[in-house]
Homo-oligomer: A and B are copies of this chain.
Amino acid sequence: MTDHEPALAKSEAPSSERLARAALSRLMEPQDATGLALVRAAGPADALRIASGQVAFGPALQQEVTSLLVDSGAAPAAASLASALQRWKPRVGDLAPERDLATMQRLGGRLLVPGDRLWPAQLADLDLHEPLCLWWRGSELEFPVIQKAVAIVGSRDSTSYGSSVTGDFGYGLGQRGYTVVSGGAYGIDAHAHRGALAGGTNAMPTVAVMAGGVDRYYPAGNEDLLRAVANQGAVIAEVPPGSAPTRYRFLQRNRIIAALASVTVVVEARWRSGALNTAHHAESMGRVVAAVPGSIHSANSAGCHRLLRDGGAVCVTDVGEIVELAGASGEGLVGDKDTEASEHDGLTLEDLILLDALPLRSTSSVEKLAVVAGLSQNSVKAGLGRLGLLGLAVSVSGGWKRSGKKG
């Protein structure tokens, strides 16, 4: 406990950047694009001064924020700092980052910010939407870097089938040294955490990502479970202590679950389910989505079958298949942003050609790809299999397209 996280050592004063991020996480809702662009453009300390109205901003900063947002795909209309200030203003009076940090300290927790050695590097894949910070409540053990992580998500009202499958998967992944990430909810989430706690073999068997503040265990019925998760693993959130778990925050929270894990497994989900939202976050980040099949008569499997049918998800039936997917996609997930190049480094020339031939939006047939790429159909089939495992190609209703990190 001496040198692993110097900036967080309890006796030291927090840096101004750390304090600023703590404050900003209360000022701005998760994934407030304008705010996140402001932080990127001005740095956290100045961003806080501007966002809290202490300092005015000039047209150059507005221009930079706009162009960051346009680059990230957001409409420039959303970029107005002036209107964002109006949005943030009502919360300025509530800012008390020292108090929030003291609360965390009292709970045995801490604050993590990007750049900390223990900051989960894979969150950088969220790009502009990387959380400002993580409020962490966990054991006094060293917080290990979450590297080998699998997310297990699904319905709150899981069936006995879903519950038993989830428990088995959580246990099996724990046994194999994976960190099981989930949302701490009833049903599938709870069984995933329980399985991982029972089977876990590493220092961080499971992580619950909360939609509200980690000072409170939510839902109340899972308090004992979440306490155990905090004792053996971690309960984390991007919102500060005292924040309510709103519906919006649940949806934003899902992107963190997806980003922490290399594979997101949906065990049971109804046709419309929050778990599908997590799956779509994972898919849009180029993470592997896996779905567990079930009876076509079970409404709780309808969302999984939808994922399988729409081509975004890989069908998994046991822990071995999940580990295989996690292994295939584990490289190039952690670390630097420019993964495109390194991700493609291991590809053969043929696979690179095939990747180039794959359309981004529409799909193409094996026959067409063979023509476009100038490869035999058998080579195309074999190559698609390899690219599929790497998360670079995906089959959608019989056709193939590119998936994963946009090039």
Which A residues contact B (CB, under 8 angstroms)?
Answer: 161, 165, 286, 288, 292-297, 301-302, 304-305, 308-311, 314-318, 321, 325, 328-329, 335-336, 338-339, 365-367, 376-378, 384-385, 388, 395, 397-398
Contacts and interface: CB of A to CB of B under 8 A. Distances in A.
B293 A397 contact: no
A201 to B, nearest CB: 23
A336 B293 contact: no
Nearest to A329: B398
Contacts of A317: 296, 302, 305, 309
A325 B311 CA distance: 14
Nearest to A397: B314
Contacts of A395: 311
B336 A367 contact: yes
B338 A318 contact: no
Contact of A301 (B293, B311, B336): B293
Contacts of A296: 165, 292-294, 317-318
B388 A311 contact: yes
A377 B295 contact: no
Nearest to A335: B367
18 contacts: A288-B398, A292-B296, A293-B315, A294-B295, A295-B295, A305-B315, A305-B317, A308-B308, A311-B384, A311-B388, A314-B398, A325-B397, A335-B367, A336-B366, A336-B377, A338-B377, A338-B378, A339-B378
Contacts of A377: 336, 338
Given A311-B385, A314-B398, A338-B376, 13 more contacts: A165-B296, A286-B367, A288-B398, A293-B294, A293-B301, A293-B305, A293-B315, A305-B317, A308-B308, A308-B315, A309-B315, A336-B366, A336-B367
A314 to B, nearest CB: 6
A314 B398 CA distance: 7
Contacts of A297: 161
Contact of A293 (B293, B384, B385, B398): B293
A94 to B, nearest CB: 39
Nearest 3 pairs of A and B residues by beta carbon: A293-B293, A308-B315, A296-B317
Given A294-B295, A377-B336, A309 B321 contact: yes
A317 B305 CA distance: 7
A185 B118 CA distance: 60
Residue with the greatest number of chain B CB neighbours at <10 A, chosen from A288, A335, A366, A377: A377
Residue with the greatest number of chain B CB neighbours at <10 A, chosen from A286, A310, A397: A397
